[in-house]
Amino acid sequence: MGASLFSRNTNSKADKRNRKFKEADRLFSKSSVTSAAAVSGIVDQYEKSKDRDLPSSPESQNNQNGANTPQPNGHSENSNESSQNHSGKLHKAGGAIRHKKNKNKNRHRITHQQSRLRYSTANRERPIVTDNTIDEEEREKFAKLAHTWWNESGEFQALHALNALRIPWIRDALINRLETPPSKSGKPLEGLKILDAGSGGGILSEPLARLGAFMVGVDMVEDNIKVAQHHLSEDPRIVSRVKYIQATVEDLVSTEEESFDAVVASEVVEHVANIDSFLNSCGRLVKPGGSMFLTTINKTNISFGLAVVAAERIFRLVPMGTHDWDKFVSPDDLQFILDRNQFTTRLIHGMWYNPLTCRWRWTKDTSINYALHAIKTNGRTQVRTESEQTDSAGKSDTSHGANSTVT
């Protein structure tokens, strides 16, 4: 979608989308494979033996989208997989959850049987939901998905917990930049316009909106946007101060250049395929004097050990391939790229997550997670040439990260 428009970005965007989908896939790494789908499989068999006339849901697929074919492996690591394929997984997993509700959907019965047949040969863990479901079903599905995103003690616990660190950080940094201190009203960010790049389920956008900011959240993944929108609709007080758009930051540059007081890309940079293009676009969206807030994972042996080896390979907390260590970026490199985009780095600070207490805290040590605040210098950026240079040169962004080596 729109990818053809920006041909120079095609690769990176498809890739990035894959990243995002993998991110989204993490949602279901535990729930769908081990619990939800497995349970639904059991329920399924049980229902089947109990009452053949009342098949519990898994909706058939409509075959109009070939990419929806079930994958034998829940999360294969083929980077050539199309994005639809990933979204197909999302649908499937959504269905897996719904499945448990044992809804009688007669209109799908025939196709349901077909899909069941296919399941027996492929992977019967993941029921499939069609795209052309009625609104009510859609709504319900996204309510479920939203629950996964917004369950504070669920899969995104660490991300929710990070709010206690990053929201005050962003808030105070922005307040310090204000000419007049805000009134003690509970809306200190009133009047500021902030872009949340990679907004996901809206975990960061909503709190900032509650503090008075006008938020624009962009995310590549349609489901994320819908989840965020669904959750937002439950809070009438901020609904008019948040706008979610399915787009890339590159998409926004043409219309929204220099219109944001701040751009926040939290836990996004490490998933971006072309970091130069991404940061360049983010930078162009910021007003002169505005701020850029980044949080990400450092490129060190420790972070490799924790994020890739421990989390993916040993403890299987996240699916294999969630994190691509080559995409991690060190603070120095990040600062270097920002410098080139007319940003002066104000602060780099380490963050430490304690998985036992589920709390984050600030630390001097930036070797794992770190946060960076940079301010745009007043001169206008000479953009396009620079971005094109970096685009071709930085095709493999390892060139910047070469100073820290993988073993």
Binding site per annotation, positions for Mg(2+): 267, 270-271
Cα(169)–Cα(100) distance, rounded to whole angstroms? 41
In total, the chain counts a number of residues equal to 407
Cα(227)–Cα(200) distance, rounded to whole angstroms? 8
Least Å distance, CB 383 to another protein, is 18
Q: Quick one: 36 or 338, whose CB is closer to another protein?
A: 36
Q: Determine the interface stretch with another protein among 2-10, 52-60, 318-326, 374-382 (rule: CB under 8 A).
A: 2-10
Residues 132-171, one symbol each (x = binds another protein by CB under 8 A, - = not), give -----------xx-xx--xxxx------xx-xx--xx--x
Q: At what angle do helices 222-232 and 10-30 cross, to 10 degrees?
A: 60
- Cβ atoms of 383 and 284 within 8 Å: the answer is yes
Q: Quick one: 209 or 282, whose CB is closer to another protein?
A: 209
Q: Quick one: 119 or 150, whose CB is closer to another protein?
A: 150
Token pair in block for residue 367: 């070797």
The amino acid that residue 274 corresponds to is: N
Q: Quick one: 2 or 289, whose CB is closer to another protein?
A: 2
Token pair in block for residue 64: 């109009």
Q: Determine the interface stretch with another protein among 230-238, 321-329, 375-383, 394-402 (rule: CB under 8 A).
A: 230-238
Residues in binding site: 166, 198, 219, 266-267, 270-271
Cα(19)–Cα(13) distance, rounded to whole angstroms? 9
Q: Quick one: 71 or 163, whose CB is closer to another protein?
A: 163
Residue 318 interacts with another protein (CB under 8 A)?
A: no
* DSSP string of 140-171, one letter each residue: HHHHHHHHHHH-TTSTTHHHHHHHHHHHHHHH
Residue 10 interacts with another protein (CB under 8 A)?
A: no
Interface size with another protein, residues (CB under 8 A): 55
Q: Quick one: 259 or 363, whose CB is closer to another protein?
A: 259
Interface positions, 205-224, toward another protein (CB under 8 A): 206-211, 214, 216
Residue 99 interacts with another protein (CB under 8 A)?
A: no
CA distances from 301 to 219, 328, 397 (A): 30, 11, 18
Least Å distance, CB 5 to another protein, is 6
Q: Quick one: 184 or 313, whose CB is closer to another protein?
A: 184
Residue 51 interacts with another protein (CB under 8 A)?
A: no
Which strands make up the sheet holding 286-297, listed edge to edge? 242-246, 214-219, 193-197, 260-266, 286-297, 369-376, 343-354, 359-363
Residue 239 interacts with another protein (CB under 8 A)?
A: yes
Token pair in block for residue 357: 């207490």
Interface positions, 255-294, toward another protein (CB under 8 A): 255-256, 259
Q: Quick one: 59 or 270, whose CB is closer to another protein?
A: 59
Residue 349: in which H helix or E strand, if any?
strand 343-354
Q: How many CB atoms lie within 10 A of CB 245?
A: 15
Residue from the set 63, 78, 113, 254 that interacts with another protein by CB under 8 A: 254
CA distances from 10 to 1, 273, 327, 343 (A): 10, 11, 18, 26
Alpha helix segments (H runs only) across 233-356: 249-256, 275-285, 301-303, 331-340
Residue 186 interacts with another protein (CB under 8 A)?
A: yes
Residue 355 interacts with another protein (CB under 8 A)?
A: no
Least Å distance, CB 233 to another protein, is 7
Residue 30 interacts with another protein (CB under 8 A)?
A: no
Number of H helices, E strands in the chain: 14, 8
State the residues that interact with another protein by CB under 8 A: 1-5, 101, 143-144, 146-147, 150-153, 160-161, 163-164, 167-168, 171, 184-187, 190-191, 193, 206-211, 214, 216, 231, 233-237, 239-241, 243, 245-247, 251-252, 254-256, 259
